Amino acid sequence: MLALRQQRREVRLGVGLPVRTDIAGRVSTPAPSPLPRFAHTSPAGNIGWESAPLTAALRAADQRRAQTNAGTAPQITPAAGSPPAAAPSSPATVATITLYPDLALALLRHNLVGPGRVWLLLRHLDQAGQGWLTLESVRQALTVKDAPLRLCGPRQLRN
């Protein structure tokens, strides 16, 4: 039986027909096709949440994807109107803070975008993972004008 399967497989391969089994006769399933990419256009302006860096990153990703599809090497160009990237001023500051899409959608659905931003920054500032921060360290990190993670003024933080 195995010899007959191998013979049929060889004949199909010789003629150029597709073969659904491997040499041992096991049915080989084709790899699933990748899901179609979400067709979107580049955002015309800012995409919301006052997220100019996110908009710039999405535009840069679109440009890289277009250049990769065209077969050219990607070129990194700064987005128009974005400030030049500065080196982190302290070791506690990281270039990115991860916000997972499910969490972002939940914050949007429950109208908790503002408190969610504060919560996300506080989680980022809690490097030790203790679950608490001193009020003075939070004020220094989020309200001082020169702070890299400045979010608001001291009065607005109290609200």
How far apart are alpha carbons 82 and 59 in whole angstroms? 12
C-beta separation of 20 from 27 below 8 A: yes
Same domain membership, residue 63 and residue 21: no
Q: Does residue 58 belong to any structural domain of this protein?
A: yes
Q: Per-residue pLDDT averaged across 80-97, rounded?
A: 56
Query: Does residue 140 sit within a domain?
Result: yes
User: In this structure, is residue 89 part of a structural domain?
Assistant: no
pLDDT of residue 106: 92
Average pLDDT, integer, range 5-14: 82
Which tens digit of pLDDT belongs to each residue from 104-120?
Answer: 999 999 999 988 988 88
In a domain, 123, yes or no: yes
Residue 95 lies in a domain: no
Nearest residue to 149 via CA among 69, 77, 80, 89: 89
Q: At what angle do helices 113-125 and 101-109 cross, to 10 degrees?
A: 140
Domain for residue 91, yes or no? no
The pLDDT, as a whole number, for residue 111 is 92
pTM of the model: 0.40
Per residue in 114-159, pLDDT (tens digit) is: 889 888 888 888 888 888 888 899 899 889 988 888 888 888 888 7
- pLDDT above 50 for 74: no
Residues 149 and 107 in one domain: yes
Let me know: does 46 contact 57? Beta carbons within 8 Å: no
Range of the domain at 1: 1-29
Average pLDDT score over the chain = 74
Assess whether pLDDT exceeds 50 at residue 92.
yes
Look at the chain and report how many structural domains it folds into. Answer: 3
Give domain status of residue 59, yes or no. yes
> Over the stretch 14-54, which tens digit does the pLDDT of each residue have?
887 777 666 665 656 555 555 555 445 545 555 555 677 77
Please classify residue 142 by burial: count the beta carbons closer than 10 Å to its beta carbon, then call 0-12 exposed, 13-18 middle and 19+ buried. buried
